[in-house]
């Protein structure tokens, strides 16, 4: 401290002496002292000197010294060296120089020094420092300095390169001013700069002067910051120049900064375009119930795209317009709730108690036992105290126990009583369907099998873009009392026959494929019946809880807005989890640039492109000829999403996704079929209308693919596929509904390359493992069929109908109580656990986690038994069936995010949320507030599985609230489950968990259930689409097996709560101790990260991506060291410095 203050005094004295000195000798000695002081070179010292008036002192000295004639370059060189060193750390340096009058003096000195290049260079660097300030730069520009600089910058030479670099750097700084930039454009300098750059690029073959290449590019970058500059750049064929030169750089390491800069310029100047669509709003719309006015339908985005002309930014310096697109997202601390009254659960019903009585029917387990007790009391059995909540229920409404038991078995029978539905129009989309129908038919005939004729009515709805040839392969109706899974029905057999024939035929010509030989061997003299039986047996063994036959029945009943007419083969046939986990891909270094160059090449050489639309839901009649070698696309099935496919080059396609129904947003989920491929050829697919600013696709995530060929060879798996996967901003944009008229929003491209194993295969590609509504209904049906009803109480009921007319299931699982009064008493004390999933339809991972939960709860596992004994599970496995069915990513048919409607759900618009909240409220009203509520989600920008919860204190701490938290009491029970899961579940990461309450999240399930229903342990559980970066699965992608495991582990984690709740003494506890091996460590309060204030669905990824934006980011230039700059190298003609 003492030395610092001592220095301060000394320094101040020194500086003030310097400032007033007109004497060369004393000036020189002070400058030498200062140089010595700063030679240690720490930025801190320079800043300190600036704070003590160092900049002013140096500038005054410059003025003083330049007035001495002839100039003493020995002093001046040292002075300018110090000016550059200090000036580049002083933001106001240019302004100070203007005030002190140093600018004019510097310009004079420059003029004077022109004959001697070695003195020109330092002057130029000093000017560059001045010009860092835009206002000073503009003032400098008016002095005519630019034309002088242009004269100094020459085509390639090995002479005076230091001065050339300094002049180019100075020019680049000057061009940051719009005024200067405009002058430069008026003088046609852009053309000239491009020529210079090209010249240096071509002739500097040894890359000795990369700094000059870079400085020239910086000039181009700055001059193209205006709309006028971009236009001039394009007119001067700048794209081609930069593309060709960048490509020529190859992967030479030294040149990468140049290529990066050139790429930024090209992307910035690439003209913005609208998507090749008439309108970006969803192709499908849904008329909402009358109760609502039509404004939602009157979505502004239905304005045809041409009316929303894309505007260039007008002359302004480009701003980063990537400010996140997520509505309501706010990462600020301001978003944290600090109102104490809103940070404490304050349960209140949002509707009259009478209205809640309707939910009594969803708790048949309570009603039944109530009646049973009445019966028992009447018959004089030992009395068991009545739970208080029964007082609210009218006993006359209750069924007798016997009726209730029957009800349990009969109430919901997912298989229809009538022969399958009335529609009967859907096909299983095998290899021959859709565009290949004709050839498929030929195959059938060739192989001696007549197409199955359908007797059912065929519905054609051209308005939805779905046409269907009704002649073949229709799912035949079947009797309800079909045999259980032991044996396939004759109709299903017909299916297999067809499958077999098709595959047998198409494979026959290609002996190398070795159909069937790899997984199950069949002799040459096999009979098709054997094959078919084996195929079906094998499938059943590999894929439990799935049945193609049941699936077709369920799919028939599913109502879609898209009115799909076919079944996707993977959903029909089933998916077997892979036995091994697939590694994350890592990053595909370097090739992203090549992809971007290919994109830019389209602009430079438009004639090379095919631009052939090969699929368009708006033109279903799009017919491709028989000899067409293009890929064929289709997404006319449940959860399918593809709007348009355009063949760009022979093996490259642009794909456009459809927006969520009734919106013009939410392009992320995709699921489509493709066929017509050739084996062994890399196909590049680009999804060009993604919206998120970043994606796990940049960090190791791959899409999934299902090959029909492979499935019929016994490998019925969705597998991760694709190489060269990149996600980056492209040149397509639109004006978003939210910011209409103000700003355009850019789209992003997801590009990947796929090489198919088999020619003429039929493959399905998806964003993530599909899990359709019909799959769920199939699963629930098969779970019920497998039920051991002596032990397990399982009830499948309907929560409500959705807007689209589908039934939203609610499942109850618990253990059947015995008949002993003590057991009944225990039954009353069981707490409720309420689980929901798939409110966001694109988050299919949530469904796989839920599948794991359901199967585990129904299993014979000891933990599962214990859980059923302890809890009553109410599960709503799909909160947004309509969204799932119609291939949406985020919304329901109302075009809204249902997870933002929990505060005030509308019974007509948000029925599933309204009634789920109703059920929760009902439970609360009868004194049965759930112990745990968890909503399963998927997360596209983070790895691992983690949870969001709600904590009063953590929120206040994070918000740095002044409220004294020591006096506040909070039950830290909300931490137990995450802690347990961190121990027992390999994919779970507690460090990613967060327990903050944000204002922007106050209408989500988690916050509303916590605040209004009063559930302390109310969570969102997020599962990655990608993989893990910690734990046992580090470096691996999550497959369905791991997702299902997560669902099972979540349940296992609940056992810990039971132990906590029922303290010692209960016999069950010692029993369970063996089941879950908990350490005492769990009791220790492990640190839970507070750092992550990004809560819920998909906050921006903190990781930065190369080419994340097309705007040139203003990187901090490397600090200039004039001493180095002035060092003489052999190729410079400067004389050695004294």
Which spans of this chain sit near Zn ion (rule: CB under 5 A)?
840, 843, 937, 1097
Q: Which is nearer to Zn ion, 473 or 768 (CB)?
A: 768
1022, 1045, 1098, 1125: the active-site residue? 1022
User: Closest distance between Zn ion and the C-beta of residue 669, in Å?
Assistant: 12
CB contact at 8 A, 1051 and 1031 = no
Strand-strand pairing, 744-755 and 682-690: antiparallel
Q: Which is nearer to Zn ion, 465 or 841 (CB)?
A: 841
How crowded is residue 738: how many other Cβ atoms within 10 Å of its Cβ?
A: 13
Q: What is the 3-state secondary structure (H, E, C) of 288-307?
A: CCCCCCCCCCCCHHHCCHHH
C-alpha 707/C-alpha 715 separation (Å) is: 9
CB contact at 8 A, 248 and 599 = no
CB contact at 8 A, 171 and 214 = no
User: Closest distance between Zn ion and the C-beta of residue 840, in Å?
Assistant: 4
Nearby residues of 396 by Cβ (< 8 Å), 6 or more positions away:
none
User: Closest distance between Zn ion and the C-beta of residue 1096, in Å?
Assistant: 7
Nearby residues of 714 by Cβ (< 8 Å), 6 or more positions away:
516, 518, 519, 520, 538, 542
C-alpha 371/C-alpha 396 separation (Å) is: 10
Residue with token string 């109580």: 817
Q: Which is nearer to Zn ion, 664 or 935 (CB)?
A: 935
DSSP for 849-911, please give it. Answer: HHHHHHHHHTS--HHHHHHHHHEEEEEES-S-HHHHHTT-SS--TTSS-GGG-SSS--TTTSH
Q: Whose CA is closest to 204, among 169, 248, 247, 240? A: 248
Q: What is the 3-state secondary structure (H, E, C) of 538-555?
A: HHHHHCCCCCHHHHHHHH
How crowded is residue 1065: how many other Cβ atoms within 10 Å of its Cβ?
A: 7
User: Closest distance between Zn ion and the C-beta of residue 996, in Å?
Assistant: 17
Which runs of consecutive H residues, i.e. helices, occur in 522-639? 528-542, 548-557, 569-573, 591-604
C-alpha 233/C-alpha 212 separation (Å) is: 20
Q: Which is nearer to Zn ion, 937 or 979 (CB)?
A: 937
User: Closest distance between Zn ion and the C-beta of residue 767, in Å?
Assistant: 14
CB contact at 8 A, 163 and 211 = no
Residue with token string 């299983």: 428
CB contact at 8 A, 495 and 535 = no
Q: Which is nearer to Zn ion, 922 or 1050 (CB)?
A: 1050
Element (H, E) at 373: helix 364-378
C-alpha 879/C-alpha 910 separation (Å) is: 10
CB contact at 8 A, 664 and 745 = no
Strand-strand pairing, 704-707 and 718-720: antiparallel
DSSP state letter for 673: E
User: Closest distance between Zn ion and the C-beta of residue 666, in Å?
Assistant: 12
User: Closest distance between Zn ion and the C-beta of residue 871, in Å?
Assistant: 25
Nearby residues of 842 by Cβ (< 8 Å), 6 or more positions away:
666, 668, 669, 767, 768, 888, 889, 890, 938
Q: Which is nearer to Zn ion, 840 or 1017 (CB)?
A: 840
C-alpha 403/C-alpha 921 separation (Å) is: 27
Q: Whose CA is closest to 837, among 845, 847, 851, 828? A: 847
With b meaning 16 or more CB within 10 Å and e meaning fewer, what string describes 205-233? eeeebebbbbbbbbbbbbbbbbebbbbbb
Strand-pair partners of 707:
763
User: Closest distance between Zn ion and the C-beta of residue 280, in Å?
Assistant: 23
User: Closest distance between Zn ion and the C-beta of residue 1095, in Å?
Assistant: 12
User: Closest distance between Zn ion and the C-beta of residue 342, in Å?
Assistant: 23
DSSP state letter for 769: -
The answer to whether the bond into 70 is cis (omega within 30° of 0) is yes
CB contact at 8 A, 236 and 269 = no
Radius of gyration, CA atoms only, the chain: 36
Three-point CA angle 760, 765, 771, nearest 5°: 130
Helix axes 117-131, 73-87, angle to 10 degrees: 30
CB contact at 8 A, 1072 and 310 = no
Is 855 part of the annotated catalytic residue set?
A: no
Residues forming the active site: 1022
């Amino acid at each position: 401290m003492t030395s610092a203050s001592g220095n301060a005094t000394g320094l101040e004295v020194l500086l003030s002496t310097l400032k007033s000195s007109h004497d060369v000798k004393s000036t020189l000695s002070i400058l030498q002292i200062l140089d010595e002081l700063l030679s240690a070179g720490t930025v801190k010292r320079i800043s300190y000197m600036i704070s003590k008036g160092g900049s002013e002192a140096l500038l005054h000295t410059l003025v003083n010294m330049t007035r001495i004639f002839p100039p003493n370059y020995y002093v001046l060189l040292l002075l300018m060296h110090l000016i550059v060193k200090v000036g580049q750390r002083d933001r106001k340096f240019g302004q100070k120089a203007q005030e002190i009058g140093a600018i004019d003096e510097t310009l004079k000195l420059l003029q004077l020094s022109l004959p001697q290049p070695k003195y020109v260079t330092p002057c130029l660097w000093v000017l560059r420092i001045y010009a860092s300030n835009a206002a000073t730069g503009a003032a400098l520009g008016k002095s005519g300095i630019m034309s002088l600089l242009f004269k100094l910058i020459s085509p390639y030479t090995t002479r005076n390169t230091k001065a050339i670099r300094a002049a180019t750097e100075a020019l680049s700084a000057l061009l940051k001013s719009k005024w200067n930039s405009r002058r430069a454009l008026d003088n046609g300098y852009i053309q000239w700069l491009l020529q210079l750059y090209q010249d240096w690029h071509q002739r500097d073959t040894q890359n000795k002067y990369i700094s000059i290449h870079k400085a020239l590019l910086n000039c181009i970058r700055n001059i193209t910051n205006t709309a006028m500059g971009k236009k001039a750049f394009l007119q001067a064929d700048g794209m081609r120049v930069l593309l060709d030169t960048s490509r020529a750089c190859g992967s030479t390491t030294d040149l990468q900064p140049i290529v990066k800069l050139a790429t930024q310029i090209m992307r910035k100047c690439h003209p913005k375009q609208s998507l090749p669509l008439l309108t970006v709003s969803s192709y499908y719309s849904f008329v909402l119930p009358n109760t609502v006015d039509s404004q939602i339908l009157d979505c502004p985005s239905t304005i045809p795209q041409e009316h929303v002309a894309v505007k260039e930014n007008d002359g302004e310096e480009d701003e980063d317009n990537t400010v996140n697109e997520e509505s309501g997202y706010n990462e600020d601390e301001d978003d944290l709730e600090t109102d104490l009254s809103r940070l404490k659960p304050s349960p209140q019903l949002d509707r009259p108690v009478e209205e809640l009585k309707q939910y009594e029917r969803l708790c048949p387990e309570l009603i039944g036992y109530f009646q049973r007790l009445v019966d028992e009391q009447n018959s004089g059995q030992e009395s068991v105290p009545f739970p208080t909540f029964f007082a609210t229920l009218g006993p006359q409404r209750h069924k007798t126990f016997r009726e209730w038991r029957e009800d349990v078995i009969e109430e919901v029978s997912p298989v229809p009583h009538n022969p399958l539905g009335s529609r009967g129009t859907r096909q299983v989309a095998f290899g021959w369907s859709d565009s290949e129908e004709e050839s498929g038919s030929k195959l059938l005939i060739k192989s001696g099998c007549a197409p199955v004729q359908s007797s059912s009515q065929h519905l054609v709805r051209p308005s939805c873009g779905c046409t269907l040839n009704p002649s073949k392969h229709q799912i035949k109706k079947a009797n309800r009392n079909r045999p259980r899974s032991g044996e396939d029905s004759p109709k299903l057999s017909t299916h297999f026959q067809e499958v077999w024939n098709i595959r047998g035929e198409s494979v026959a010509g290609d002996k190398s494929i070795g159909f069937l030989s790899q997984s199950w061997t069949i002799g040459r003299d096999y009979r098709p019946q054997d094959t078919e039986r084996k195929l079906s047996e094998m499938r059943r063994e590999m894929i439990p809880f799935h049945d193609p036959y049941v699936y077709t029945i369920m799919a028939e009943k599913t109502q879609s807005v898209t009115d799909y007419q076919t079944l996707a083969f993977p959903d029909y046939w089933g998916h077997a989890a892979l036995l091994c986990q697939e590694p994350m891909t890592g990053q595909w270094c370097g090739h992203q640039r090549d992809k971007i160059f290919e994109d830019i090449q389209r602009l430079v050489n438009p004639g090379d492109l095919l631009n052939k639309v090969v699929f368009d839901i708006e033109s279903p009649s799009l017919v491709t000829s028989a000899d067409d070698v293009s890929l064929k696309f289709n997404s006319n099935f449940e959860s399918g999403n593809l709007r348009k496919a355009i063949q760009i080059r022979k093996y490259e396609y642009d794909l456009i996704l459809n927006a969520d129904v009734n919106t013009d947003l939410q392009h992320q989920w995709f699921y489509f079929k493709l066929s017509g491929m050739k084996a062994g050829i890399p196909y590049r697919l680009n999804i060009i209308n993604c919206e998120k600013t970043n994606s796990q696709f940049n960090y190791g995530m791959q899409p999934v693919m299902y090959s029909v060929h492979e499935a019929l060879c016994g490998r019925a798996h969705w597998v991760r596929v694709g190489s060269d996967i990149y996600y980056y901003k492209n040149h397509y944009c639109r004006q978003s509904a939210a910011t209409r008229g103000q700003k355009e929003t850019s789209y992003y491209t997801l590009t990947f390359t796929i090489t198919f194993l088999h020619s003429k295969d039929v493959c399905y590609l998806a964003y993530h493992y599909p899990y359709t509504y019909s799959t769920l209904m199939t699963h629930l049906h098969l779970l019920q069929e497998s039920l051991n009803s002596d032990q397990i109480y399982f009830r499948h009921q309907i929560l409500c109908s959705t807007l689209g007319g589908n039934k939203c299931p609610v499942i109850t699982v618990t253990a059947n109580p015995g008949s002993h009064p003590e057991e009944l008493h225990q039954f009353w004390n069981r707490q409720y656990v309420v689980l929901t999933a798939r409110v966001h339809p694109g988050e299919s991972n949530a469904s796989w986690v839920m599948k794991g939960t359901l199967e585990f709860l129904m299993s014979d596992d000891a933990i599962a038994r214990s859980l059923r004994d302890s809890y009553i599970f109410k599960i709503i496995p799909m909160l947004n069936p309509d969204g799932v069915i119609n291939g949406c990513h985020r919304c329901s048919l109302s075009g809204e995010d249902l997870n933002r409607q929990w505060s005030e759900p509308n019974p007509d618009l948000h029925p599933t949320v309204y009634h789920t909240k109703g059920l929760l409220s009902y439970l609360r009203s009868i004194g049965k507030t759930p112990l745990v509520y968890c909503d399963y989600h998927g997360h596209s920008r983070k790895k691992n599985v983690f949870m969001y919860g709600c904590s009063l204190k953590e929120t206040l701490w994070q918000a740095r609230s002044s409220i004294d938290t020591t006096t506040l009491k909070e039950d830290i029970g909300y931490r137990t489950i995450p802690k347990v899961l961190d121990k027992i579940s390999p994919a779970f990461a507690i460090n990613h968990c967060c327990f903050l309450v944000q204002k922007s999240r106050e209408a989500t399930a988690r916050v509303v259930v916590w605040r209004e229903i009063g559930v302390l342990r109310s969570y969102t559980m997020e599962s990655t689409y990608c993989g893990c970066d910690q734990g046992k699965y580090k470096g691996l992608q999550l497959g369905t097996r791991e997702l299902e495991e997560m669902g099972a582990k979540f349940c296992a984690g609940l056992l810990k709560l039971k132990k906590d709740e029922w303290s010692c003494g209960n016999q069950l506890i010692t029993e369970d101790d063996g089941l879950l091996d908990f350490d005492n460590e769990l009791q220790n309060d492990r640190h839970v990260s507070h750092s992550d204030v990004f809560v819920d669905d998909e906050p921006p990824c903190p990781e930065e991506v190369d080419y994340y934006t097309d705007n040139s980011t203003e990187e901090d230039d490397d600090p200039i060291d004039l001493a180095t700059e002035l060092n003489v190298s052999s190729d410079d003609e400067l004389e050695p410095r004294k």
